[in-house]
Amino acid sequence: MISLLVVGSIVLAIILGYKTRINIGLFAIAFAYLIGCFGMGLSPTAIIKMWPLKIFFIIFSVSLFYSFATINGTLEKLAEHLMYRCRNVPHLLPYAIFATSTLISGLGAGYYTVLAFMAPITLLLCQRTGMSMIIGAMSVSYGALAGANFMSSQSGIIFQGIMMNVGISTEQAFINSIGIFISTAIIPVLVITSLIFFTKHRHNMQHSAFNIEVPTPFTREQKTTLWLTIIMMALVLLAPIAHLIAPHNDTIAFINSKMNIGLIASLFSVIALLLKLGDERKAIASLPWGTLIMICGVGMLISVAIKAGTINLLASWIGTSIPSYLVPVAFGVVAAFMSLFASTLGVVTPALFPIVPSIAQSLSIDPMMLFICIIVGAQATAISPFSSGGSLILGACPNEKSRSKLFPQLLFRAAPIGFIAALTYNLVITFAI
């Protein structure tokens, strides 16, 4: 009975968040308190301890450092320079949009930040060049997602944190995140290539000519910010990669054991402030507080579900009701459906990742396969106008007319194309590996 109540509360939190536009995490915290304390007899202190402090600290610290690149204009300037480079090959513009979005997102801007300033640029280019808004929207969304999934970027860090919370080792979580990043980088290239060369896009843009003004040079602060970002990414990535290559080297093992991306990012934030690369108050104000509340709030409710045995019950049902060879694909389909209306980071991964270890163990499936299928499925429909990503793209439309035109295209063309591509990919890796 309690398990059914917990599942119902998760669904209700998503519905209420969507209908009222109030952060889903706040509803999740309320339900965690009511069900945990009054339905299960837990103490208020026990409920408060379910706040995922480790994940919160990592997201907070990393986002704080990367916010300097946003507020001092480094990322926007980088986008301008990269777009300027491709002005002579207009029909390949979607690749440039995808690559630019991936790079900037991978440098730490995160999915929502990249969409916030790349989506308006992309839709403006669609108007000026005749490029399909569907191709433009999918290129920028796919790029922002793929880059954010990079091991040292926002989503990649969140995925690793949730994996470690459900019992996956730090080393294995890092390896899993590499698999997720590679998968979510391959699919967009295949989809964009198909849209460019097997639709009217290439013909429409073959003789297109558009002008992009020569961007101004990087300032001293922006150059320093870029170098700091590259150094931090190198520190975060080199130690675990070196440990994977030479697991028995004591020196590398010692250094790797002292690496923590949250603490490293905090150190680099102090360096950025000492170098006056941005205003402290603006940096803190630009943090993704809504995402933090959503992830941690849903995390509390999921912890209540684990305590109630709901996760084990759900894992047992999946293990006995679905053929084992279809379980990864089924996870991808469920994640895709959830992502039509809810956030991948805030809802889908906190809800589905905890089920993976027990399912993988009982059915002898590689957990990485399940994690990849979940993210591939979830991000396939992130462009839906009902999801946070799609709504940001709609909000970037220059006028109501283009917004009304783009809405059905995102819902009935972009989301289905993404879903079919993800389903195909998940089927291939399920039966091929």
Confidence of residue 27 (pLDDT cuts 50, 70, 90): very high
Asked if residue 98 lies in contact with residue 141, where contact means CB atoms within 8 angstroms, the answer is no
What confidence category does residue 196 fall into, taking pLDDT thresholds of 50, 70 and 90?
confident
Which are the contacts of 157, defined by CB distance < 8 A and separation ≥ 6? Answer: 58, 59, 62, 151, 261
Q: What is the pTM of this model?
A: 0.83
What local confidence, expressed as pLDDT, does residue 400 receive? 75
Please tell me the least confidently modeled range out of 151-165, 344-358, 374-388, 392-406: 392-406
In this predicted structure, the answer to whether residue 208 has a pLDDT above a threshold of 60 is no
Of residues 10 and 49, more confidence is placed in 49
pLDDT number for residue 237 = 86
Domain extents for the chain?
51-207+218-287
Q: What is the DSSP letter of 92?
A: G
Q: Is the pLDDT score of 383 beyond 90?
A: no
| Residue 433, pLDDT score | 67
Q: Give CA–CA dist 307/131, Å, rounded.
A: 51
What is the reported pLDDT for 115?
84
On the question of pLDDT at 315 being above 80, the answer is no
Helices 327-339 and 415-432, packing angle to 10 deg: 160
What pLDDT was estimated at residue 300? 92
Task: Report percent pLDDT > 90 for the chain.
Answer: 36
pLDDT at 389 over 90: no
Confidence at residue 47, expressed as pLDDT on a 0 to 100 scale:
95
Contact 330, 320 (CB under 8 A): no
Q: What is the mean pLDDT of residues 58-75?
A: 87
Between the CA atoms of 414, 416, 422 and 423, what dihedral angle is there, to the nearest 10 degrees?
-170
Residues 250-267 have a mean pLDDT of: 89
Task: Output the pLDDT for position 59.
Answer: 83
